[in-house]
Structure 1
C-alpha cells in the first residue's frame, strides 16, 4: 500500500483509498509526529524527527508550496515508510492535515461559511479545485462566473460548499464561486445609499466613463460627465488605471446591479460662486478652448466657460478670420457681459476688454492731420485705410490722386503703407474720411503760378479714352486732357491713327482752371491749335518777306499764293 501511494498523485486516488492508507500507516507507524525543517531541497524538505535527521517530506506531500517553508519551521507529519537502505523515513504533512481539512470543509458546508481554495484547471463541465490546499472539489461552470475562454482566476478564492456527500469510494464535494458573490453583492447594495461616499480603484477607462472596482464583487461607473466640472476634459485627462479614488454614489439600481458614481460632486461646483467671483462688468483672463464660426469659447476656470460671440470680437464692421486673431490655448482678457447661472452660460466680450479705440478718437486724431496708415481693402469707389486696429477711414476715388484716376488699383495696392490726410471724423457713426492726394503738395499750385492759357507745354500721351487722350505734362506731374477734336487739323475717326500711347509731343494750353476751394483743377491742351498757330506764324513771315520784294505785275495775294505753293512743294 505504501509503494502504491508513493508512486501515485493523491488526486488520482479516491478519498476512501487515502483514508485507508492513513489508517494502515497509523497502525504501523503512529498517528503523527512533530518535525523540524532542517533544509529545503529542490524536490522536498529534509526534516528532523525525534532529534535525528532522518525524515524527508516530498513536495507532493506538503500542504503549502515549497517556497513558503523556512528552515526551523515546525510541522506535523505522518511517517509513510522507512527506507532501511538510506536510513531515513518518508513523511507526509498532507496526510495529517487532510483529515482536519476535510472536517473543516464539512463544517463549512453545514454552516454556510466560506472556505478557501484554488482553481487547478479546467475540466469537463467546470473546473478542478483544491480546498485548503489538500481537499479536491469540483466547481461547475454555471457556479464559476468565469466565461469560457477567459483566464482562470489565480490565487486563493473563497468558495461556498454547495454539496458534501460521502460515498463508498470517497466524498463528493461541489463548490460555488458565485454563491458568495451574489450574497455579498446583495448585502453591499442593501447597505449602499445614494449620496454616500465610497472608495475604489480605477479598473478600466472608456470614452464614456471609468469603471471603479469597489469590492471584489462590485464595480461602479463614473460617467464621463461626472469626472470633472470642466466639460472639455476627457476621462483619460483626469484618471489612470490603478488610481485610488474617493467617489460619491449618485444612483443605485439593485435589480440591474448598477452603481453610478461621481468624482466631480465631491468638489465644489464652481457655478455656485460664479456671480461673486466674476461679477458682470469685470474683466477677467481665460484660455481659448475652441473656435467656432460664430465666435470662440473661453475657459475662465475649470468648469466655467463662456462664449465670445463674433459680434463681440471686433470693433466696427470688421469681418476677419478668427483664427488670424487667436488660437486655441491662447490666454486672453474678456469682459463679463451676462451670467445665466441656471443654464450655466456666460456671455463675454473680447473687444470691450481691450477698450473701444473710438472713445477718445478726437484726442488721438485731428482733422487736417497727416497720418500713416495701411491699405486693407481696395474698392471700385476708393480704398479703406487702417490707422490702427479697429480704426480705419475711407479714401474716395476723388481723393486718391491729384490726377485723373481710372482704376483705384493703379494708385494703391492692398497691404501697402500710405500717408493720408484726415478730412473729417464722425465719432458717432465710427467713420473717417481720408485723402491720399492732400497728404502731398498740390502740383496744380505751381501750374497756376507758372502757366496760363496759350502757353505751350510738352508731355507724353499716357492713355487713350473715347473722347480723347490723357497727357502727362512734363515738369509738373499733372495730367491734361486732349480732346479728340483737337488732335489734328482735320476730323479724326480713329485716334490711334493720329496719336500713339507713349508718344511725346508739344501742345498748346487752351483751357486752364484752378479753383481749390471748389476742388476744381484741370487743363485742356490742343495739337490742332498748335498747328494753326504755326501756320499763322508762317503766313505772317511770308507776308513780311513778299512785301519787301520789287514791284511785279502779280498782286500781293497772288505772290503769297505762289510762295505758299513753293513752300508746300518743298515740304513735300
Structure 2
C-alpha cells in the first residue's frame, strides 16, 4: 500500500490527488526551510484515500509560520498604558476608586484597569474594623470582595510589577480637613505599643475614619511605666488633638490635657495658701502631723550647693487625693517665678511637700 508524505500548511484541506503527484517529494527541502524553524506535521495518504496527520515535530517537514496574534499586542500596549496611568495617580495623589477582586493572607487585591494591585491590611481604613470589631481581618476582607474602594496609589513600579494602594491615605485626604488642634474626639484604642497607643477618631457620622497617636507621655499626668496598664485595645476614651503633621499625615492626641494639672491642683486645692491641708484629702490627723518625705532633706542640702541657689525652704505640706508614685518625685511648678524664687514640689505616695528656692 503506497504511502505519500506532504507538508501540512495553514490550508484547511489538501486534496489527495495533489498530494499524490509524483513531482512533490517529501524529502526535498526548499531554501526557506533551512532559514526558518517551524513546527511541522506530516500528512500520510494511503492508496485507499485515508488521510492521517503525523504531529511529530522531528519530521523535518516545513510548516507555514503562525502569524502573530494582534490581540496580544493590543493587550500588552494597554497594560503598559495602564502602568503609566498608575504612575500618574501616584505622582498626583489623586484618589482612585477600584474594585476589590479578592484577598490573600496579607491584604486585598484591587483592580486598576487591566492591572491587579495590592492593598496591605495595615493600609486599610479603621472604618471597617470599627463597624465589625468582632470579626477577624480575614472575615472583613471576605466581605469586601466586589466592593468599590477609594484608595491612593502609593507605589507604581512597572519594572518590578508592583502596584500598592492605601485606603488610609485616601481617608486622610477626605477627613483630615475636619480636624483642628484643640478639637476633642471620642476615640477607640486600636493597638498599643511601648511608646504609646494608636487610637481611631470617631467622626460625626459615627464612624472611625482616621488614626492618631497618644504618646505615653500624654496618657496621664502620672508617671506611666507601661501604656498597657492604662489603655487596652477596644477601650473608648476622650482625647484632645495637640498636634497635626500634615506632611506625614499624623495626628497627635492627649488624654492628660483633658484633666486638671495635678501641680495646680496640689498648689491651689490640696495645700491652701494658709498652709492647712484640705480636710477632704487628709487620711487622718492634721498638717502638723505630716512627717517629712524620706530623702527630702538630702535633696535640700544638695540644692543649696548649686551655684545661684541661696535659700531653700519648705512652705506647705499636705496629701493628694490619689497616689502618684511610691517613689519620691521632684517637680518644677509651671507657676511663674516670684522675686526670682521658683516653686518646687516633692511627691511620694499621696504626700506632697511644696518648697521654694
TM-score (normalizing by structure 2):
0.48
Compare relative contact order (CA 8 Å, sep 6+) and give the higher one, 1 or 2.
2
Q: Who wins on radius of gyration, i.e. which is larger?
A: 1
TM-score (normalizing by structure 1):
0.33
